[in-house]
Amino acid sequence: MIEIYRLNQPSILIKADIAGEFPIYLYVPNSMDEVLYSKSINELLNHEKVSKPLEITNKGISFLLQSGVIPPPNTIYKSVYVLGMNDEVELSTRNGIVNLEFKSSFPFSSSNVNYEDKKPDENRLLELVSNAAMARIDSKKPTYLFHSAGKDSNTIALAIAEAGLQSRITLVSHKSKGLADESEISKQIAKKLGFKHKVLNEVDNLRPVHRSAIKDFFKNSPFPSTDSVTLAYPLYLQQLPTLAGANVIDGGGNDSYMMTPPTKRERRNVFITDHILHSNCLRRSIKSESLLFPLTKTRCEWFGTSGFSYSDSKKIMRESIDVNPYWVGVSSQRKDLNLIDLKTSILTQIVASEVHIRKVRNFADSVSSNLILPFANEKVAMYVSSISNRYLFDVGSNKNKLVLRKILKDRIDLDSDIIGKMGYEYDTKSLLLANWDSVVSEIERCKTWNQVEIFTVVIRLKKVMHKNHKYSRLAGQLLYRLYIISIWLNENKYIKMSS
């Protein structure tokens, strides 16, 4: 549904939900005489009042290159904004035009004092999670749960199974290479809980059918995403076509209220950042893979952001801006937060929302699927955040989601402490090397880039990727990012004129 605020109407306050289950998107025309807003980005961008092609911003692309994320409320588009977790905007009329005043605050805190030792009611928690999932399912469509060996998707699976509803849902797991593969554990759990199970494989050599699927995905994705697993989603469709138009359940959305303690390395990095003199000259000249590059970071940038140096960003796109002033400002605004709250707020409100969860939203929006995020449900978030902190996280061990660890160990014998954080990985290096000519072609035909200098960066990073270098992995990730941003810019239907 599209709603419209028009010039001279009484001011209104629009606020997104506390855990970011349903972002609110706003479109502001150049005339500034009205604002269209909706919880559906597809409905908004395809509305007759939205003038296309939409204009993209150099600022947005600069953030994608240097940070990997565009912090809300801004998006890649000049005229489109997003309200995420607990964000709000006041719409009013001022000086003959519509005025937008955005505000954002992090709604959870690791410092909340629970005078009672409020223990979690495990059955109540599982019931809330199951209800949050099942209430959003369209029974006329197939339903898939993206499943791994992790705590989030397994808690959802357990909750649904204990409600006796597992026959309606298929677990799908990604088969990674080597030790990062979680599909076998996923298969065993599916069998134990009575779910159907499907394994989705990585694809290295892209055939014409794969390239066509990738092209369609980026054509219809409302936003770019720099997540390393982005390309896996259109390739999944080749193995499981019924994902299109289906109910798709994902486990994202609970790190915000379960909190995410910083690691020892992150604490050390923030300490160093707070005690060194930052040099603007260094930022303007340093290479992305330089051992000195981390010294240019602000404290907020240690929590999930990464990317090209400003120097390399300028070579890629002449109009690049330095995003450092933004992160300096955010670090200053949040200087009084303890490190747990600082990390959690940056990681969840910005990075997870607009990178990790955004990639799944993009996939669902591109194929008209119904995305369901049970852990982002407001009732689930409010219940868990009311539990005493000692059941949620432990600073000494850097562990979070303690209540989920206990539930899974007790009920399905899944020991997350032993398994560890395996991560959801995609072998981007193999994909790049196996399809290098196609990668180069995509970058070359992107009119946004500075074709005179961009390949000095590309060739250099490719050499680093092949070496036994501390940042060889980073070099591959940056090349992959440049590749997928290029495809989105080349193919996206919202920024291209109709032929």
Q: Tens digit of pLDDT for each residue in 83-93?
A: 999 999 999 99
Percent of the chain with pLDDT over 70: 96
pLDDT at 113: 55
CB 175 within 8 A of CB 280: no
Average pLDDT for residues 157-169, to the nearest whole number?
A: 96
* Residue 497 pLDDT > 80: no
pLDDT at 279: 67
* Residue 499 pLDDT > 50: no
Mean pLDDT, the chain, integer? 93
What are the beta bridge partners of residue 24? Answer: 83
User: Considering the domain 3-103 in this protein, what is its CATH number?
Assistant: 3.60.20.10
CB 475 within 8 A of CB 481: no
- Token representation of residue 438: 């196609």
* Residue 281 pLDDT > 90: no
The residue length of the chain stands at 499
Nearest to 126 by CA among 385, 392, 374, 389: 374
d(CA 315, CA 303): 26
For residues 352 and 116, the model is more confident at 352
Average pLDDT for residues 4-25, to the nearest whole number?
A: 97
Question: Measured at the alpha carbon of residue 361, what is the angle toward residues 359 and 365, in degrees to the nearest 5?
Answer: 120
Average pLDDT for residues 276-305, to the nearest whole number?
A: 86
* Residue 266 pLDDT > 70: yes
Average pLDDT for residues 424-452, to the nearest whole number?
A: 91
Percent of the chain with pLDDT over 90: 85
Average pLDDT for residues 295-320, to the nearest whole number?
A: 95
User: Considering the domain 122-258+345-419 in this protein, what is its CATH number?
Assistant: 3.40.50.620
Of the pLDDT bands very low, low, confident and very high (cuts 50, 70, 90), residue 53 is very high
Q: What is the dihedral of CA 290, 296, 297, 298, to 10 degrees?
A: 170
Amino acid occupying residue 325: P
Angstrom distances, CA of residue 104 to CA of 77, 82, 83, 356, 385: 20, 12, 9, 20, 19
d(CA 449, CA 183): 39
Collapsed DSSP state (helix, strand, coil) of residue 342: helix
Nearest to 181 by CA among 222, 148, 223: 148
Collapsed DSSP state (helix, strand, coil) of residue 191: helix
* Residue 475 pLDDT > 60: yes
- Name, in order, each residue with C-beta under 8 angstroms of 350's C-beta and a sequence gap of 6 or more: 69, 71, 72, 304, 305
Q: Where are the alpha helices (DSSP H) in 102-207?
A: 122-134, 151-162, 183-193
pLDDT at 176: 81
pLDDT at 202: 87
Of the pLDDT bands very low, low, confident and very high (cuts 50, 70, 90), residue 114 is low
Average pLDDT for residues 144-163, to the nearest whole number?
A: 96
The residues spanned by each domain of the chain are 3-103, 122-258+345-419
pLDDT digits (tens, 9 = 90+) for 171-180: 999 988 766 7
Angstrom distances, CA of residue 8 to CA of 11, 26, 259, 412: 8, 18, 42, 58
Q: What is the DSSP pairing of strand 370-372 with strand 247-249?
A: parallel
Angstrom distances, CA of residue 345 to CA of 16, 328, 335, 372: 16, 15, 12, 22
d(CA 304, CA 297): 12
Of the pLDDT bands very low, low, confident and very high (cuts 50, 70, 90), residue 498 is very low
Average pLDDT for residues 157-172, to the nearest whole number?
A: 96
